[in-house]
Amino acid sequence: MVVQAEEGRLTTSSARVLVATAVPAERDAVARAFPEPAREMRLPGAPALHRTGAGTGTTYDLLAAGVGPALAAASTATALTAAALSGAPYGLVVSAGIAGGFAPGAPLGSLVVADEITAADLGAETAEGFLPVTELGFGTVTHRPPAALVRQAATATGARTGTVLTVSTVTGTAARADGLRARHPRALAEAMEGFGVAEAAVAHGVPVLEIRAVSNPVGPRDRAAWRIGEALAALTTAFGKLAPVLESWNRHDR
């Protein structure tokens, strides 16, 4: 499902922003940052849309793209293609949602804006250790959002900046957490969709940003320690502060 909200003005090449979350709860948390009620529409080949409007020019399509990098990439690419074919392409894609945080850098309830979006488990396990797909001679494992946009987003929301890892299997042990930290010492958070969303955006030549609210520590799986409600509330607050940045950002800023 997708929600669309309208507010503000973009100086990007298009006044449309696609926000991709994994699940409807995250999408709805972003939608609560906007004052207008939602209304449903549809995109060809994509899930249902909702739309809110403030009549000021910028539109936000909020897409519950699905869990995991593959489905997130497919759903995001479908939305981007439909928009391009309609003659109203997106000017920016934002991957948003909750995430696990690497302590002590990203405690519960904190916000993280990715300056690197990295596929942490795309590669090969060998006797010598993990090899990313780039060391196998093909592909990519990291996308870097526009530096100026990252700085502005972090300043507006109070977020920390660092690497956000995308995994296909959520970390549930201390050993796995330690291994990821060793390979990615700048990692602040772990989620499952950012790299897939970024792959789709890059394929369409559209800039991408990732913002996450930390709901649980990365490590041993302990549901009693999760703070999903608090993280969703933090995401709502953050997106309310982030929207003016997205609306004023110029993609030629460095």
> Quick one: pLDDT at residue 34?
85
pTM: 0.89
Q: Is 74 exposed, middle or buried (0-12, 13-18, 19+ CB in 10 A)?
A: middle
pLDDT in tens, the chain (254 residues): 444 443 333 444 348 899 999 999 999 999 898 877 666 656 554 554 445 434 446 788 899 999 999 999 999 999 999 889 989 899 999 999 999 999 999 999 999 999 999 999 988 888 888 888 888 888 899 999 999 999 999 999 999 999 999 999 999 999 999 999 999 999 999 999 999 999 999 999 999 999 999 999 999 988 888 899 999 999 999 999 998 898 888 776 65
Residue 19 near residue 94 (C-beta atoms within 8 A): yes
> Quick one: pLDDT at residue 181?
93
Tell me how crowded residue 128 is: count the other CB atoms within 10 A of its CB. Answer: 6
